[in-house]
Amino acid sequence: RNQKRRLECRPDIDSLTPSFLSIYNSLIPAEEEKAKQKRLILSLEKLVVKEWPDAKLYIYGSCANSFGVSNCDIDVCLAIECDGTSKSEILTKLADILQSENLQNVQALTHARVPIVKLMDPTTGISCDICINNLLAVVNTKLLKDYAQIDGRLRQLAFIVKHWAKSRGVNETYRGTLSSYAYVLMCIHFLQQRRPAILPCLQEMEATYEVTVDEVECLYFDQVEKLKNFGARNNESIGRLLWEFFDYWAYRHDYANAVISIRTGGFISKREKDWTRRIGNDRHLICIEDPFEVSHDLGRVVDKYSIKVLREEFERAADIMQYDPNPSVMLFEPY
């Protein structure tokens, strides 16, 4: 594969930027949509607090981490003291409450890997998944959102990469490809590696934010308004960054040995993490370290079939970026 590695980028790469930016702009959710989401959360919170006065609702996932496209579902976390009551009992009770309040398609999925209640708000058409006490997801949502504030190119790159992954069918964890969360981590890591760097490594800086969740210490520098000019010395365009991103994952990443880690701002060896062989269902064929749950490889869902699909898609994208006269069409061709 390395023999196919290209050394030179097409000369007109920067001229591709406007077409990608117009796709990015078409994916951004309208302000009005954000307002509707907020109203729905507030009304859900009222219902929840009536039953559990100390409970709180948090929004997490793409509609809170700034990587959400329009019309995405909202991910909500109910933070609640369980003392003795099981999560399934709480979810069943919650489903009953929501059902009696005119919300539609209410379903408690108590046996799912992450148990949730699903619902749809008939007035706005917004769908929502509520899970219980998944507070690490709330914290990693904040980390992603903070990174997005530092340099606008992260949000642009991640929107386009997510849009590509959805169009090409490689954003489906149940079929062995990567989650949206994993793709955003790949984008952050990639921008940390540019020279000059476009993003810093917030977890290596002096901690200004500190919480302990499920015995995991989460520490990082979150005063990101002070880092607004961080990436200014690097003026790479979105066209070029996309080219580099796909070229990297197609031809240059060391799948056999390397783990990408936004926590350290670089690479760790698979050997150091003991991710060199299959353990249970985790195969570690592409390794993406979770920034807080460091024993957690976001690539664990990828199996020996889907790794091939994934790498072929990276190569296809890299080749389109290099040779296609109008890559912003072919790149997103439905699979």
Residues lying near ligand GTP in the complex (CB under 6 A): 60-62, 65, 67-68, 72, 75, 136-137, 140-141, 179-181, 290, 293, 296, 298
For ligand GTP, the closer of residues 243 and 245 by Cβ is 245
By three-state DSSP, how is residue 45 classified?
A: helix
**Min separation Cβ 229 and ligand GTP, Å:** 27
On whether the CB atoms of residues 218 and 211 are closer than 8 A, the answer is yes
Torsion of CA 211, 212, 213, 214, to 10 degrees: 180
- With CB under 5 to 8 Å by kind, the binding choice for 137 among ligand GTP, Mg ion, none is ligand GTP
- With CB under 5 to 8 Å by kind, the binding choice for 88 among Mg ion, ligand GTP, none is none
**Min separation Cβ 291 and ligand GTP, Å:** 9
What are the distances in angstroms from CA 83 to CA 90, 150, 171, 188, 236?
Answer: 11, 40, 36, 38, 52
For ligand GTP, the closer of residues 162 and 316 by Cβ is 162
For ligand GTP, the closer of residues 5 and 34 by Cβ is 34
> According to the binding rule CB under 5 A, does residue 61 interact with Mg ion?
yes
Q: Are strands 266-269 and 258-261 parallel, antiparallel or unpaired?
A: antiparallel
**Min separation Cβ 234 and ligand GTP, Å:** 26
Backbone angles phi, psi at 50, to 5 degrees: -60, -40
Q: Which residues have CB under 8 Å from 97's CB, separation 6+?
A: 47, 48, 50, 51
For ligand GTP, the closer of residues 20 and 183 by Cβ is 183
> According to the binding rule CB under 5 A, does residue 115 interact with Mg ion?
no
For Mg ion, the closer of residues 298 and 320 by Cβ is 298
- With CB under 5 to 8 Å by kind, the binding choice for 140 among Mg ion, ligand GTP, none is ligand GTP
The half-sphere exposure of 32 on its side-chain side, counting CA atoms within 13 A, is 1
**Min separation Cβ 73 and Mg ion, Å:** 6
DSSP element (H, E) containing 188: helix 180-193
Cα–Cα distance, 306 to 170 (Å, whole number): 9
Which residues in this chain contact Mg ion in the complex, by CB under 5 A?
A: 61-62, 75
